[in-house]
Amino acid sequence: MRVAVIGGGGREHALVRLLRRSPSVREVLALPGNDGIAADGVRCLDVDPLDLEDMCRTLAAERVDLAVVGPEAPLVAGLADRLEAAGIPVFGPRQAAARIEGSKAFAKEFMARHGIPTAPGRVFTEPAEAEDFLRRHPGPWVVKADGLAAGKGVFVCGSTGEALEAVDLLMRRGAFGDAGRRVVIEERLEGRELSVLAITDGKRLELLPPARDHKRLRDGDRGPNTGGMGAYSPVPDATPGILERVRREILEPAVAGLAEEGAAYRGVLYAGLMLTADGPRVLEFNCRLGDPEAQVILPRLEGDVARLFLAAATGRLEGTLRVRELAAVCVVLAAPGYPGKPQHDLPITGLEEAAALPGVHLYHAGTRCRAGGWVTAGGRVVAVTGLGGDLEEARRRAYGAAERIRFPGRQMRQDIAGPPAT
C-alpha cells in the first residue's frame, strides 16, 4: 500500500522510518515532511496540513491507501472527516473525537461523565467567577487554557496570586486568543508523570509500551515547559499492575465513552498521567502520538505496523501488536532561544557521524539542508534515540551520538532517563 504521513517533525520522521519497514508498504510519502525525511529518499510534498482542501486533493491524486496524521491541529480542524469523506482511510480521530485534546473543558466534563480518574476541577467562562473561586479555595491549582496552545497554555501555580495572574493572562488579556477565553482550573497533583498510549479502532485497544517524557527545558526538571526535551521507554516504575489499572480505569472507559457519545475514536489515544498515591490520574488526553514519546515507542515496534494502523483506521483491530524487548532513550537537541524564539540558520555538524553509530536513530525536526550543509530551522532541531538491552545502554548510546552533533548554543538536558528530580 501507499501510506501518507502528515506532519513534519521528529515524530513524523520516526513514523516514516517505521512504516517503511512494514512488508505491506510500497511507498511512504510525507506532507510536508522535512529535509531530514527527504534525505532518507522519501518523497515530500509541500502541503500545509491545515489546508484541508489541498491535503484531500493531493492525497486523492496520489492514490494513497492510508493517511497517518502526526500532529493534533489538523485533526482538531477536521482533517480526518474530510479524508474519510473522500474515501481515504485515516489513522487519526475525526473532529468530534479529537475534542478530547482540542478542548480541555470537553475532556474534563467527559471524564466526569464516565468516571475516569482525574484531578478535581471546574470549567470557567467568566473571569470574575474564576477569580472568585480562586480567592475562596486555597489550592494549589493548575490553570489551563481550554483550546490548543502548543503546550504553553498550562500554568502550574504555587500560590493563589500566580493562579489569579494566569486567569488574568488567559481570560482578560487574551494571551492565547480564543483558546484561553475558557479555562479549566483543577487541583495540582503530586507524583511522577507517565504517558500511556493506545491504538484503538473505536472498540478494541492495544496498549503501546509506556513512555516518560521530560517537559522542562533544564536538568532537574527546572526551567520553562517545552514540547519535550527527551523521553524513554520502558518505564521501570510503570508496573504491569499500574498499566492494567490505566487500561481498565482510563483508556477502556474513554474509548467506550466516546463511542457511546457518537464520537468513536480511531487512531492513537494518549493519556498523560500523574501516578499519585491514590493511583493513576489523567492530566490530559492527546489525540495523537506524543513528540518525543513517538521517538522511543515506535522504534520498539515490530511486524507490519502499517497493516495494524490500517486495521485500526477501518474498525478491524486485532491483537497483533508486537513489541521488541529493547529499551529506548531519546535526547532532544534544541536551538538557542527555544522554547521562546529559537535561532534559525545555525550550522550543524556531526549528523552523519552520529547517525552511523550502532543502535542510534536520528530523527530530524527543525533542520534544513542548504548547499553548504545542515542548518537549524526550528526549536527542537534533532531527536537522537539510542536503543539498547536496557535503559543504561540505550542512554549511553543516545548521549554518545548526541554529543557529536554540534551547533552554536545547542541546548540539551544531561539527565534524560536519569533518577527522578528531587
In the list ligand GLY, ligand AMP, none, the entry touching 228 (Cβ below 5 to 8 angstroms by class) is ligand GLY
Is residue 411 within the footprint of ligand GLY (CB under 6 A)?
A: no
Is residue 142 within the footprint of ligand AMP (CB under 6 A)?
A: yes
| Cα–Cα distance, 415 to 151 (Å, whole number) | 21
Smallest distance from ligand AMP to CB 419, Å: 18
CA dihedral over 253, 95, 227, 164, signed as positive or negative: negative
Is residue 297 within the footprint of ligand AMP (CB under 6 A)?
A: no
Binding track over 335-374 against ligand AMP, x by CB under 6 A:
----------------------------------------
Nearest CB to ligand GLY, comparing residues 102 and 290 = 290
Asked if residue 276 lies in contact with residue 229, where contact means CB atoms within 8 angstroms, the answer is no
Kindly state the DSSP code that residue 211 receives in the 8-state scheme. Answer: B
| Matching residue, cell 496524521 | 69
Cell of 181: 477565553
| Cα–Cα distance, 272 to 67 (Å, whole number) | 25
Pairing verdict, β 192-200 and 267-276: antiparallel
Is residue 290 within the footprint of ligand GLY (CB under 6 A)?
A: yes
Among 11, 13, 17, 215, binds ligand AMP (CB under 6 A): 215
Cell of 168: 488574568
Q: Which stretch binds ligand AMP (CB under 6 A): 188-196, 226-234, 249-257, 312-320?
A: 188-196
| Cα–Cα distance, 103 to 108 (Å, whole number) | 9
Among 16, 111, 194, 283, binds ligand AMP (CB under 6 A): 283
Is residue 70 within the footprint of ligand GLY (CB under 6 A)?
A: no
In the list ligand GLY, ligand AMP, none, the entry touching 291 (Cβ below 5 to 8 angstroms by class) is ligand GLY
| Cα–Cα distance, 174 to 182 (Å, whole number) | 10
| Cα–Cα distance, 182 to 103 (Å, whole number) | 9
Is residue 291 within the footprint of ligand GLY (CB under 6 A)?
A: yes
Nearest CB to ligand GLY, comparing residues 186 and 293 = 293
Closest to 196 in 3D by CA, of 235, 226, 152: 235
Is residue 184 within the footprint of ligand AMP (CB under 6 A)?
A: no
In the list ligand AMP, ligand GLY, none, the entry touching 70 (Cβ below 5 to 8 angstroms by class) is none
Is residue 201 within the footprint of ligand GLY (CB under 6 A)?
A: no
Among 13, 209, 213, 264, binds ligand GLY (CB under 6 A): 213
Range list of H helices, 9-147: 10-20, 35-39, 52-61, 72-76, 79-85, 95-102, 104-113, 127-136
In the list ligand AMP, ligand GLY, none, the entry touching 188 (Cβ below 5 to 8 angstroms by class) is ligand AMP
Cell of 104: 480541555
Residue 31 to residues 42, 90, 116, 154, 232, Cα–Cα distance (Å): 10, 14, 36, 29, 27
In the list ligand AMP, ligand GLY, none, the entry touching 213 (Cβ below 5 to 8 angstroms by class) is ligand GLY
Binding site for ligand AMP (CB under 6 A): 119, 142, 144, 154, 156, 186-189, 193, 215, 272, 283-284
